[in-house]
Amino acid sequence: RYGALGVLDESGNALAEFITVGVDEQTHRAIGALPKGLGLLGAIITDAASRRVADLTEDPDRAGFPPGHPPMQSFLGVPIRIGDRVFGNLYLTDKTSAEVFTDIDQELVEGLAGAAAIAIENARLHTETRRRQDTLVAFEGVARTLLGGADRDELLGEVARRARDLAGADLAAIVVPTGDRDELRVELAVGAGADALLATTFARGTSVSGHVLATGDRVAVDDLAEDPRTGPFQARGDLGAAVFVPFEADDAPFGTLVVARRRGRPRFAAFERDIVSSFAGQVSLVLHHERQRSRLRDLAILEDRDRIARDLHDTVIQGVFATSLTLQGAARLVDEPTARARLDDAVDRLDEIVRHIRTVIFGIESPRRGDDGMRLRALAVSQEAARALGAEPRVTFEGAVDTLVVDALADDLVAALREALSNVARHARASTTDVTVSADETAVVLVVRDDGVGIGPHPRRGQGTRNLEERAARHGGTVEVGPGPAGGTQVTWRAPLGR
């Protein structure tokens, strides 16, 4: 009346899958979780030998049935052997034509198990061969994408899509270090729920991705939803088995490839994990080549950047500044209030233009100087967020931020900026984002303003806001989240100086 196939995990000591026949869907739901291979099922796994039982309720190895399980009496269990390894077991219960299973029944089922073993092994070999061929095809596709002149985002997207398809996964993601040495970011994700993961950041030190980057080891996770080391992947709640593998160049990991399946799907088999690792190893060469190509391209344009910076400083800023002084002088000669107000507004606008140009000059010159101050770090975070936002934020600095904002305060301000921009990317649906970092002898203030949908009359205080508040509180600071002056949302993160 009932039959089941129990597939063993790689250890050979527990069930990885349990496929049933004769039990309807309603009964399945009533039973709940599938068996783990304890009791009589566990004894057959341990002994790796056929076993017949006339009455399950009287067997000394029985573990009992869970609530909702149909009653069963007669039982026959037979192992399926592939070579010297037990692949799984066939289980039959409640023979319909007699009260118990006979010797002939056992011989027939053992013969069936032998034939099944041959078919399973042939199917496995065929699948592995096809997957390895698919790996070569996938790598060739990535290489063609690079040689076709694709930019970094297109290349990473191709890598993630190929990895997802190769592994038979529902999701693939690429995790990389950020400018903050203690954080990692989901640089790219494709598949189920990818948009919610894109550009999210999480702590490096305690994460699986951080371990992979530190050691170069591959890590398999049975259930992402239950593993706090997996950061935003755990937060999804619907992801189960996953594999984390490193991208490496010159024996140094520079990123992590993550492939994951939804909960309820099988774990990744050993050969599937090997294929993902092999693909990541091959692709690492392509990504390393792309990084080198990008560096050479950057070197080629540095001279032009220096020239542009000099021209902006020596010509454009001086011209705008001279015009501002002229307008200030003219304003003093004008008595009509409206005209004078317009001249004053024009002077203020020119001052703002000068600040923006100085920010641009700093961004141009900093890579050549090798600076790692507050300005450069804020610009780097803004550039990182550009793809998720759809456009690079406009960044303005006021005051001596590099001198006044240092050490732990600088780290927390950079992290707060990254969190605020990530929130804009995920929730605001904004077309423009403005960032202002200002500092004087009393305080540093970070303002992130967008033109998106706004926060509504009853905003929900999520984890992102709590993170901002915690970072500000470390320095005796505050966070304000509210509507912007012209719509959208404005986040103001403030911390006192000189404490």
Q: Residue 286: helix, strand or coil by DSSP?
A: helix
Quick one: pLDDT band at residue 368, thresholds 50, 70, 90? Answer: very low
More confident residue, 454 or 322: 454
Q: Is the pLDDT of residue 489 over 70?
A: yes
pLDDT of res. 242: 96
Residue with tokens 């050969």: 271
> What average pLDDT does the structure give for the chain?
84
Extents of the domains making up the chain: 2-125, 130-293, 373-499
The helix (H) or strand (E) run that includes residue 475 is none
Please report the beta strands in 178-296, taking only residues with DSSP state E, as ranges in sequence order: 183-191, 201-203, 219-221, 239-249, 252-262
Q: Is the pLDDT of residue 301 over 60?
A: no
CA distances to 125, 266, 267 from 119, rounded to whole Å, are 10, 20, 21
Distance CA 193, CA 115 (A): 41
Strand partners, 189: 173
Question: DSSP for 365-405?
Answer: HHHHHT--SHHHHHHHHHHHHHHHHTSPPEEEEES-HHHHS
Taking every pair of Cα atoms in the chain, the longest distance, rounded to a whole number of angstroms, is: 115
Distance CA 102, CA 373 (A): 81
* Highest mean pLDDT out of 248-257, 301-310, 361-370: 248-257
The residue type of 381 is: V
Q: Is the pLDDT of residue 294 over 70?
A: no
The C-alpha R_g of the chain, in whole angstroms, comes to 31
Distance CA 304, CA 310 (A): 10
CATH number of 130-293: 3.30.450.40
Q: Is the pLDDT of residue 397 over 50?
A: yes
Composition of the chain by helix, strand, coil, percent to 5? 50, 25, 25
pLDDT of res. 369: 46
pLDDT of res. 469: 92
Average pLDDT over residues 47-68: 85
Distance CA 184, CA 178 (A): 5
The two beta strands, 85-93 and 433-439, are unpaired
pLDDT of res. 459: 64
pLDDT of res. 244: 97
Q: Is the pLDDT of residue 389 over 60?
A: yes
pLDDT of res. 384: 84
More confident residue, 288 or 60: 60
Distance CA 223, CA 226 (A): 6
Range with the poorest average pLDDT among 1-15, 54-68, 88-102, 473-487: 54-68
Please report the beta strands in 68-191, taking only residues with DSSP state E, as ranges in sequence order: 75-82, 85-93, 171-177, 183-191
How crowded is residue 389: how many other Cβ atoms within 10 Å of its Cβ? 21
Domains 2-125 and 373-499 share a fold: no
Q: Is the pLDDT of residue 283 over 90?
A: no
Distance CA 450, CA 482 (A): 11
Quick one: pLDDT band at residue 386, thresholds 50, 70, 90? Answer: confident
pLDDT of res. 106: 95
Task: Give the fold, CATH level 3, of 373-499.
Answer: Heat Shock Protein 90 (3.30.565)
Quick one: pLDDT band at residue 358, thresholds 50, 70, 90? Answer: low
Q: Is the pLDDT of residue 493 over 60?
A: yes
Q: Quick one: DSSP state of residue 230?
A: G
Strand partners, 340: none
CA triplet 234, 237, 242: central angle to 5 degrees?
55
pLDDT of res. 26: 83
Distance of CA 320 to the CA centre of its chain: 45
Distance CA 30, CA 33 (A): 9
Question: DSSP for 398-440?
Answer: ES-HHHHS-HHHHHHHHHHHHHHHHHIIIII--S-EEEEEEE-
CA triplet 214, 218, 222: central angle to 5 degrees?
120
The domain defined by 2-125 carries CATH number 3.30.450.40: yes
Quick one: pLDDT band at residue 217, thresholds 50, 70, 90? Answer: very high
Residue 435 · residue 394 · CB < 8 Å: yes
Tokens representing 298?
């950057």
Q: What is the pLDDT of residues 261-273, one digit of tens each?
A: 998 888 898 889 9
